[in-house]
Amino acid sequence: MESTIIKSRNFNASFGSNHVVKNVNIDIPRNKVVAVMGPSGCGKTTYLRCINRMHELIPGATSSGEMTINNENIYQMHPIFVRLKIGMVFQRPNPFPNLSIYDNVIAGYKLNGIKLPKAERDRVVEHSLTRVALWNEVKDSLSKKGSFLSGGQQQRLCIARAVAMEPEVLLFDEPTSALDPISTSTVEELFHELKTNYTLIIVTHNMQQAARVSDKTAFFYLGELVEYDETRIMFTAPKDSRTQNYITGRFS
Amino acid sequence: MEIKSVKYRIGKNYGFKVLVTIFAFACVVPLLFILFYILEQGITKINWHFLVNIPKPVGETGGGIANALIGTILIILCASVIAIPIGILAGIYLSENKKSRLAYWSRLCVDILQGVPSIVIGIVAYFWMVKPLGFSALSGSVALAIMMLPIIVRSTEETLKLLPASLQEAAFALGMPFHRVIFKVVVPVGISGILSGVMLSIARITGETAPLLFTAFGSPYLNFKVWKPMESLPHIIFTYATSANDEWKDLAWGASLILLVWVLLLNIFTKLITRKWKVQL
């Protein structure tokens, strides 16, 4: 029996008069990997950014409808609490360039002014870097700047930074689109690891990636949620003709 | 025929290159000339005595510019205390709210302020501060602070605008409140650009004379009280260079050299800071 962690009902989002997410109803199960796929401009990234209320940071952006985490309305919580519960990893690796690798991992504590004892900090850093399979690569250069790492390492550092805050949900906005194939597969392996503790929502352009890593897949088209089902079913027996066309490559 | 036209073109090309080089060099000449001339005139006047003594009355030999040095430092210090926080915060606002109506007007005003002649700013400071309170170093600082503002505001804004949006997003996504995003992430990453703006604005006002004429006014005595009239380097040059007294003219040369070296050092220092503290994105 799977329990739902994120739930949205009749959820809409717009930029000014441009209605980009239309009436989305979705239940995200706990400790699963959910892939959100669809062609460019279908509103999938916008929807993702609505989940941790990053959408509203853009001037002119509005949203309506219900979005809950553990049955608590996200839009009635303070955005800061929302973002502490729901971590996010972006398309391009964006470690803080002025901070060391060590400080990047605990940036969520350090920059928020949360004081941790040294031993606890060390534990969080080691634990988080281990979780993203980066510890062995960087354990001797923790005081170097994060921007010295390769792109794939930087992205894993960013995942570690999100993991360090112990969120319940991790959002990934096309996390591998700026990475080479080898780094991509490393990150994809991480998803399997991470879902034991977290719920993962991954926006991707890449259908094969959705098929490889996710338990459930949602297909967005022109702002609507067209179909949402077990990944296995989505890729073998989609119910909607638009999904069928998309996964067979008739439009992209 | 063909060959000839090509040769002609090559010749024209060469001529143009020479012309451009000459003009590039021509830009260097005035500075070298000023440097050389001031150095030649001023270097013999500068010694320890010159730096730690105040000017002697007419007829006595010796004397120095200690009062003007201290005065300039104090006036710039006060101006910086006023202008730096306001300038940086305003710059942050402008870079964060690119499209708001207030930003539009504020940006416009800052740009116009940059073009306002310094003497006009001096007059305003005169009416604001000197009329009710009398001549004081502080009123001079206010005038200079107004001149510093546009440089600091615009350089802060331009620096922060160049930072990628992903940097702020990363910070917001970690649940940071706005003020922490600004002061813990955005400002530290852009610090080299902000500081270079601050330094350049200080270099810019160091030599300002006009607004000080009727605000800080000048004083032949060593004075640490910023609410009293105070001497400053540019003002001492202005007064003594135009005097008939040769002793005083020497003081003016020495003071010019010190002022020049100060501004040069500030510029070099700015370049160093920009390079050293630049955060690799």
CB B148 within 8 A of CB B80: yes
What value does the mean pLDDT take over residues A211-222? Answer: 91
β-pairing verdict for A4-15 and A86-89: unpaired
- Indicate the pTM of the whole model: 0.83
Decide if pLDDT at A252 tops 70.
no
d(CA A246, CA A232): 15
CA of B207 to nearest chain A CA: how many angstroms apart?
Answer: 35
CATH superfamily of B48-277: MetI-like (1.10.3720.10)
Instruction: Please indicate whether, in this complex, the C-beta atoms of B174 and A83 are within 8 angstroms of each other.
Output: yes
DSSP class of residue A174 equals S
Question: Any CB–CB contact under 8 A between A15 and chain B?
Answer: no
In this prediction, does ipTM exceed 0.85?
A: yes
Give the tens place of pLDDT for each residue, A24-62.
999 999 999 999 998 888 889 999 999 999 998 888 899
Q: Which helix (H) or strand (E) holds B17?
A: helix B2-42
Which carries the bigger pLDDT value, residue A250 or residue A155?
Answer: A155
Cα separations (Å) of B40 from A39, B34, B202, B236?
Answer: 72, 10, 26, 19
Query: So what's the pLDDT on residue B216?
Result: 84
Share of chain A above pLDDT 70, in %: 98
Quote the longest CA-to-CA distance of chain B: 82
Q: Which of these, B200, B202, B262, B208, lies nearest to B69 by C-alpha position?
A: B262
Give the tokens for residue A186.
């490393």
* Confidence at A251, pLDDT banded by 50, 70, 90: low
* Confidence at A1, pLDDT banded by 50, 70, 90: very low
Q: Give Cα B236 distance to the centre of its chain.
A: 18
Mean model confidence pLDDT for chain A: 90
Set of chain A residues whose Cβ sits within 8 Å of the Cβ of B176: 80, 111-112
- Residues facing residue A171 across a β-bridge: A88, A201
Instruction: Tell me which chain B residue has its CA closest to the CA of residue A93.
Output: B166
Question: Any CB–CB contact under 8 A between A60 and chain B?
Answer: no
CA of A211 to nearest chain B CA: how many angstroms apart?
Answer: 27
Chain A (218-237) residues lying within 8 Å, Cβ to Cβ, of chain B: none
Give the tokens for residue B182.
């600004």
Instruction: Please indicate whether, in this complex, the C-beta atoms of A96 and B167 are within 8 angstroms of each other.
Output: yes
Set of chain B residues whose Cβ sits within 8 Å of the Cβ of A52: 173
What value does the mean pLDDT take over residues A181-189? Answer: 88
Residue linked to tokens 């993702």? A48
Give the tens place of pLDDT for each residue, A67-116.
999 988 999 999 998 999 999 999 989 999 989 999 999 999 988 888 88
Q: Which of these, A164, A170, A162, A172, lies nearest to A198 by C-alpha position?
A: A170
Q: Which helix (H) or strand (E) holds B238?
A: helix B233-241
Set of chain A residues whose Cβ sits within 8 Å of the Cβ of B165: none
Interfacial residues of B (vs A; Cβ cutoff 8 Å): 99, 164, 166-167, 169-177, 180, 184-185, 188-189, 279-281
**Residue pLDDT tens, chain B, 281 long:** 678 888 999 999 999 999 999 999 999 999 899 989 999 888 888 888 888 888 877 767 777 888 888 999 999 999 999 999 999 999 999 998 888 899 999 999 999 999 999 999 999 999 988 888 888 889 999 999 999 999 999 999 999 999 988 899 999 999 899 999 999 999 999 999 999 999 999 998 998 888 888 888 888 888 888 888 888 999 989 888 888 778 888 888 889 999 999 999 999 988 888 888 887 77
How many residue pairs bridge chain A and chain B with CB atoms within 8 Å of each other? 72
Residue linked to tokens 């060593």? B222
> Which of helix, strand or coil describes residue A96?
coil
d(CA B63, CA B75): 22
Instruction: Please indicate whether, in this complex, the C-beta atoms of A52 and B177 are within 8 angstroms of each other.
Output: no
CB A109 within 8 A of CB A160: no
Instruction: Please indicate whether, in this complex, the C-beta atoms of A80 and B281 are within 8 angstroms of each other.
Output: no
The values of phi and psi at residue B189, to 5°, are: -70, -35
Instruction: Please indicate whether, in this complex, the C-beta atoms of A94 and B166 are within 8 angstroms of each other.
Output: yes
Instruction: Please indicate whether, in this complex, the C-beta atoms of A94 and B280 are within 8 angstroms of each other.
Output: no
Instruction: Tell me which chain B residue has its CA closest to the CA of residue A78.
Output: B175
Share of chain A above pLDDT 90, in %: 50
Instruction: Tell me which chain B residue has its CA closest to the CA of residue A81.
Output: B175
Instruction: Please indicate whether, in this complex, the C-beta atoms of B173 and A83 are within 8 angstroms of each other.
Output: yes
- Nearest CB among A79, A87, A97 relative to B281 is that of A97
